[in-house]
Amino acid sequence: DLIELCWDGQTVGDKAITRAISLLRHTVENLSDGAVRLETITKVGFRLVCDVAEVELEAVHAESDAAALPAPPISRTAQIWRGLARCRRAGWAAALLPIAAGVLYVLLKLSDSGPTAIAGIGATRGGVSVVVLPFRNYSADKEQEFFSDGMTEEITSALAKVPGLNVVSRTSAFQFKGANRDMRSIGRALGASHLIEGSVRKEGNALRITAQLVKAADGRELWSETYDRELKGVFALQEEIATAIASELRVPLGLKAGRSLVANRTTDIDSYQDYLRAAALVRGRGPLEPGGPLTQASELLEQVVARDPDYAPAWAMLSQAYGLTPHFAAALQYGSNEELRGLAASFYSKADKAAESASRLDPDSPETLIALAWMSRVHRRYAEEENLYRRALAIDPGNPHALHYYGTMLAHVGRSSEAIELRRRLRAIEPFTDHYNRMTAQILWEGGKNDEALAILNGMPTTPSTQIAMAEILASMGRYPAAADALELAQGLFEPEPLRQAVQLLRTAPSKTSLSGGPPLKGRLSFVYLYVQAPEHAIAYSESVVDAGVYSSVYPGFLWAPSLGPLRASERFKSLVRELRLVEYWRERGWADACRPVGESDFECI
Quote the CA–CA distance of 368 and 99 in Å, as a whole number.
49
The answer to whether 31 and 23 are in contact (CB under 8 A) is: no
Quote the CA–CA distance of 71 and 213 in Å, as a whole number.
25
What pLDDT does residue 21 have? 61
Integer CA distances (angstroms), 212 to 189, 195, 209, in order:
19, 8, 10
> SS3 of 222, please?
strand
Quote the CA–CA distance of 128 and 495 in Å, as a whole number.
49
What pLDDT does residue 87 have? 39
What pLDDT does residue 305 have? 96
What pLDDT does residue 564 have? 83
What pLDDT does residue 213 have? 95
Quote the CA–CA distance of 417 and 421 in Å, as a whole number.
6
131 forms beta bridges with: 195
First to last CA, the chain: 49
- Report strand pairing: 166-167 vs 206-215: unpaired
Q: What is the pLDDT of residues 5-50, one digit of tens each?
A: 454 444 444 544 554 565 565 555 544 545 566 666 544 566 666 5
The parts of the chain modelled with pLDDT lower than 70 are 1-126, 179, 254-258, 264, 516-518
The answer to whether 489 and 464 are in contact (CB under 8 A) is: yes
- Report strand pairing: 194-203 vs 129-132: parallel
Quote the CA–CA distance of 53 and 88 in Å, as a whole number.
5
The answer to whether 75 and 113 are in contact (CB under 8 A) is: yes
What pLDDT does residue 492 have? 81
What pLDDT does residue 182 have? 85
What pLDDT does residue 284 have? 80
Return the axis-axis angle of helices 312-324 and 337-361, rounded to nearest 10°: 160
Nearest residue to 374 (alpha-carbon basis) of 324, 302, 420: 324
Domain ranges of the chain: 2-109, 129-262
The answer to whether 532 and 510 are in contact (CB under 8 A) is: yes
What pLDDT does residue 6 have? 54
State the alpha helices, DSSP H only, in 249-395.
269-283, 293-307, 312-324, 331-334, 337-361, 366-378, 382-395
Nearest residue to 508 (alpha-carbon basis) of 475, 538, 540: 475
User: Into which CATH architecture does domain 129-262 fall?
Assistant: 3-Layer(aba) Sandwich (3.40)
The answer to whether 107 and 28 are in contact (CB under 8 A) is: no
Quote the CA–CA distance of 315 and 358 in Å, as a whole number.
5
What pLDDT does residue 86 have? 37
The answer to whether 452 and 444 are in contact (CB under 8 A) is: yes
Integer CA distances (angstroms), 60 to 74, 227, 297, 361, 430, in order:
9, 42, 42, 42, 17
Integer CA distances (angstroms), 310 to 196, 267, 295, in order:
32, 10, 22
CB-based burial label for 121 (10 Å; 0-12, 13-18, 19+): buried
Rounded to two decimals, what is the model's pTM? Answer: 0.76
The answer to whether 253 and 231 are in contact (CB under 8 A) is: no
User: Which sign does the torsion angle of CA 396, 398, 402, 403 carry?
Assistant: positive
**Residue 218, Cβ neighbours under 10 Å: how many?**
9
- ∠ CA 565-568-569, nearest 5°, is 100
3-state secondary structure 61-100: CCCCCCCCCCCCCCCHHHHHHHHHCCCCCCCCEEECHHHH
